[in-house]
Structure 1
Amino acid sequence: MKRTLFLQAPSFDGYDGGAGARYQMKREVRSFWYPTWLAQPAAMVPGSKLIDAPAHDLGWDDIAHEFDAVDLVVLHTSTPSFNQDVRTAKLIKQRNPAVMIGFVGAKVAVEPDESLANGGPIDFVAREEYDFTIVEIAEGKPLAEVDGITWRAPDGTFVRNRDRAPIEDMDVLPMVSPVYKRDLTIEKYFGGYLRHPYVSFYTGRGCKSRCTFCLWPQTIAGHNYRFRSIPKVIEEVQYILREMPHVKEVFFDDDTLTDNRERVEELARELGKLGFGKPGFDISWSCNAKANVPYATLKVLKENGLRLLLVGYESGNQQILHNIKKGLRVDVARQFTKDCHALGIVIHGTFILGLPGETLETIEETINYAKEIDPHTIQVSLAAPYPGTFLYKQAVENGWFDGSDHLLTDGGNQIAQLSYPHLPASVIFDKVAEFYKRFYFRPSKIGSIVGEMLRDWDMMKRRLREGVEFFDFLRRRKEAA
């Protein structure tokens, strides 16, 4: 068995390189997601170690010694972080020339040859789901015999092995929480809308929705939602309750956990049996959701401990939702939000500016829509054409951007990539800060957040810190404009 190290490499200060595969920037407040995409194979390779450098404020000098006694390094990368990750790989190879280096992530999955060509130290890249791919390589299986990789042959040519079949029985994958406990400091992980400390993991992979901008379903995970059995999910939750008793929230990070309503209701009821939602039980749960969950299902979830839903509204304009194949009606989303408010379910709403069909009028419509439905907190992103998505292909064909992979400034802040004849990128960029200001700088919203702070001292300290970070975010955007 190769001595294996899984790495989320040092990156821009405050930039979550892993989540950057989905949302290409430093957030408006400091935020880090768990590196589940690395923890999963790490849980399957005996004796391995996981290092998440960005979340733990580790630079190269802090981790350099870790590579002296390893045989295999598996490094997660993304389009925004790829060049920085290659620089880290070069440093690793200089330190330990005998080490084998593999890259995983959507970037290398959709551009394997280009990634190898631009990443001199990389020995292989993994395509498709790579859990068992990495296990086989760690076990010493020759690269020529490993499904799902493209690798650098001794003569310098690139060899593409046959595709790896997707995992159908998700119960074969072990828990990731023990890896978190072993290798990570969970207090380092923040979500602006999640209670702290929290733990997140996936109960399944894939998403049946066809959103043109969403990366993972179009690259690695696919559109077939495959999931672990409820007993297996409950087993991991029980581990968290037992081994991490200070955790205040469990976040299920499936793309859309609520797509399978029968299953999510069953999961909620089983969580209720553990105490979730009961008086005196101070741990809540949350998940991603599409804005179409009916009241009856929401009620079951709320009664069994659901606190928050992360909801992708994207736009308040129906035509734009059609353009991006969101499969969502604005009137349905509006009723869903009213139902959540009535039940006391908190919503963190996400919106995207600059999607196909965007105009100054639709931006105004979306800002007013967000104020009307009034989620508790919001995230506003710029449309990002990641390679491998329909949006990328569409944008290149229509000349909306030049096809480059430069999604960030040198400091890790997002760039408006898409530009239209009637709506230049610079205008779209400026509208993000305006969106935030008009949503948050309202008496009702300020009163809601202040009330939340007065009820909870921990929330008071946290919101004050986030307030400083938020105003710094606005300042940086003004300077970048």
Structure 2
Amino acid sequence: MKILLINPPTFNMITSALPGVIEEERGVNPPLGILYIAGYLRKFTDHEVEMFDTQLEKSSYEEIEERIKKSNPDAVGITAMTFTIIDVIKICKIIKNFNPNIKVILGGPHINIYPNETMEIPEVDFLVMGEGEMVIKDLVNNINDQEKLHQITGLVFRDDGQIVKTGVRELLQDLDILPFPAREITQYKKYSSVLATHKIVTTMFTSRGCPYKCSFCDRPHLGKRFRARTAANVVDEMELCQNMGIGEILIYDDTFTIDRRRVVAVCEEYLKRGLKINWDIRARVNTVDTELLKLMKKSGCTRIHYGVEAGTEKILKVLKKGINRKMVKKAFKLTNKEGIESLAYFMIGSPTETVDDIKETIKFAKKIKPNFVHATVLMPFPATDIYYQGLESKVIKSDHWREFAKNPTADFKPHLWTENFDEKELFQLLRLFYHKFYLRPSFIVKKLAELKSWDEFVRKFKAGMSIIKMKKNPHKLISARVAE
């Protein structure tokens, strides 16, 4: 059997909470989910597996159709995100119009939240629920045996017109048994990141799940318990990436530093092998200390992404972050002292937030001195505390995400938290945030001095121009109550 795995395009992506001109210059990262699927199928089955990243190849619908025809697969697996579900449906239709006998399999966050609504799409044959590696292996090995399909936990499919759900498979506890993502079947040298100092970049997971309860995140409701790979297994993959010519790894764990002892073990193993590849991580401000940062820096860690989210104690509590301003200031001070780059994530437009709160957050962002900030307007996602709170309080008028899942249309606009702002004002404030942080002369001079290569200059110049293009003078666009 030939299996084609597709990372869908974003032609009809729901409007992001990040200004589009910035979104365009962020780069394209490898789709880890389907690369793990590809690696698992290649190791544990005899099926032929191909991968098609439409985002990397900037493929049009016509080019996608030609690629599907050229591949002529027996089954196609597609990653389904709510933001890209319209494009996913379009690809499903292309597949079935070409050959109705090709089996269409969807996985990803969208189908786990809205399985019934997704199965209303007539072109979809199977949903793979939860973590998909073992489920999809069992599915493709028995895809034409209806009786055996009923015995595979983790599937949704139709039998005689009726939707069948076989439950959700238990989470894999030993992540070391998973083969590494099948980067070798991709054009992996073309992936990039605006933040990276190296031209060839990849992504990596060293753990799955998150134990924290942030109100804007779906993790608490989707039941993803924290599990981690061993240090030796992690460094094995780092070493493989280095041998492939990759210069930098973006580690996408929700929080790499949850288990301090494991972080130390990873660093010690890295040093023992004499590796040179750089890596960056995501961490909470209350999970780092001087000793750990020194060791991470020595072991190739060049950048830490911290989820700060807000600059006031009030909003940090609303978001259930479990941190405070003092912790944030300490973490950034220590990180900067050790010479590790820092990126601070912020959101504006949270429940109960006011203009004064947002002004304070902008000031706080400058005060803690991260190397970069990434600010968005808070978007209440499905399966989050904030979304449920909004429905209950009527700030969010209807269950619009479910309505969209039932009837995806290109003109859909997700509801923001507009208790104290209208949507236009929120995005004006977001533009102001970017201008206040990035267009300071001192910041620009510092960034120019830090550039290490022409490629890095080109990437960051494009990103900088995108910020300038947001609006030449955002102050004129903002209501009087926002003006300073």
Decide: shared fold, TM above 0.5: yes
Letter paired with 1:256: T
- 2:160 corresponds to 1:166: no
The secondary structure found in structure 2 opposite 1:48 is: strand
Among 439, 453, 458, the alignment partner of 1:456 is 453
Distance 1:357 1:416, change over 3 A: farther
Letter paired with 1:351: F
Cα shift at 1:116: 1.3
* Counterpart Cα distance in 2 of 1:428 and 1:471: 18
Distance 1:416 1:11, change over 3 A: closer
- 2:304 corresponds to 1:309: yes
* Counterpart Cα distance in 2 of 1:217 and 1:450: 41
Among 288, 300, 306, the alignment partner of 2:282 is 288
Q: Which shows bigger deviation, 133-142 or 84-93?
A: 133-142
Letter paired with 2:284: K
Q: Is the 8 A contact 1:32 1:191 kept in 2?
A: no
- TM-score relative to the length of structure 2: 0.88
Spell out the pairing of 1:80-229 with structure 2 (5 A cutoff).
80-117=83-120, 119-141=121-143, 142-155=148-161, 157-176=162-181, 179-193=182-196, 195-216=198-219, 218-219=221-222, 222-229=223-230
Q: Is the 8 A contact 1:29 1:469 kept in 2?
A: yes
- 2:305 corresponds to 1:348: no
- 2:375 corresponds to 1:380: yes
Cα shift at 1:122: 0.8
Which string of whole-angstrom CA distances, capped at 9 and with x for unpartnered residues, describes residues 260-297 of structure 1?
A: 11111111121122335xxxx4x311111111212221
The secondary structure found in structure 2 opposite 1:262 is: helix
1:418 is matched with 416
Where does structure 2 lack aligned partners over 5 or more consecutive residues?
A: 43-47, 479-484
Q: Is the 8 A contact 1:51 1:184 kept in 2?
A: no
Which string of whole-angstrom CA distances, capped at 9 and with x for unpartnered residues, describes residues 365-421 of structure 1?
A: 110000101211111111122212222211222222233237999699xx6732333
1:468 is matched with 465
Spell out the pairing of 1:384-463 with structure 2 (5 A cutoff).
384-401=379-396, 402-405=398-401, 417-453=415-451, 455-463=452-460
Distance 1:171 1:81, change over 3 A: same
Distance 1:438 1:193, change over 3 A: farther
Cα shift at 1:52: 1.1
Letter paired with 2:435: K
* Counterpart Cα distance in 2 of 1:192 and 1:385: 27
Which string of whole-angstrom CA distances, capped at 9 and with x for unpartnered residues, describes residues 301-325 of structure 1?
A: 1122211001111111112111121
Cα shift at 1:216: 4.6
The secondary structure found in structure 1 opposite 2:95 is: helix
Which string of whole-angstrom CA distances, capped at 9 and with x for unpartnered residues, describes residues 94-149 of structure 1?
A: 111101111111111011001112x2211122221111111111112543222112
The secondary structure found in structure 1 opposite 2:444 is: helix
Letter paired with 2:27: S
* Counterpart Cα distance in 2 of 1:42 and 1:252: 19
Distance 1:56 1:294, change over 3 A: same
The secondary structure found in structure 2 opposite 1:385 is: coil
* Counterpart Cα distance in 1 of 2:306 and 2:203: 16
2:10 is matched with 11
- TM-score relative to the length of structure 1: 0.88
Q: Is the 8 A contact 2:191 2:201 kept in 1?
A: no
The secondary structure found in structure 1 opposite 2:400 is: coil
* Counterpart Cα distance in 1 of 2:199 and 2:323: 31
The secondary structure found in structure 2 opposite 1:257 is: coil
Root-mean-square deviation over aligned CA pairs: 2.8
Q: Is the 8 A contact 2:86 2:409 kept in 1?
A: no
Cα shift at 1:54: 1.1
* Counterpart Cα distance in 1 of 2:300 and 2:283: 15
The secondary structure found in structure 2 opposite 1:43 is: helix
Letter paired with 1:224: R
* Counterpart Cα distance in 2 of 1:313 and 1:352: 9
The secondary structure found in structure 1 opposite 2:461 is: helix
Cα shift at 1:364: 0.7
Cα shift at 1:72: 1.1
Cα shift at 1:362: 1.0
Where does structure 1 lack aligned partners over 5 or more consecutive residues?
A: none
* Counterpart Cα distance in 1 of 2:136 and 2:26: 31
Distance 1:462 1:23, change over 3 A: closer
Letter paired with 1:460: F
Cα shift at 1:214: 1.9
Q: Is the 8 A contact 1:193 1:348 kept in 2?
A: no
Distance 1:23 1:101, change over 3 A: farther
* Counterpart Cα distance in 1 of 2:19 and 2:466: 18
* Counterpart Cα distance in 2 of 1:404 and 1:473: 28
Q: Is the 8 A contact 1:416 1:426 kept in 2?
A: no
- 2:255 corresponds to 1:256: yes
Letter paired with 2:174: D
Distance 1:420 1:65, change over 3 A: closer
Cα shift at 1:41: 1.0
* Counterpart Cα distance in 2 of 1:434 and 1:59: 34
What is the percent sequence identity of the aligned residues?
Answer: 25
Q: How many residues align?
A: 458
Letter paired with 1:54: Q
Cα shift at 1:5: 1.1
Among 353, 357, 371, the alignment partner of 1:358 is 353
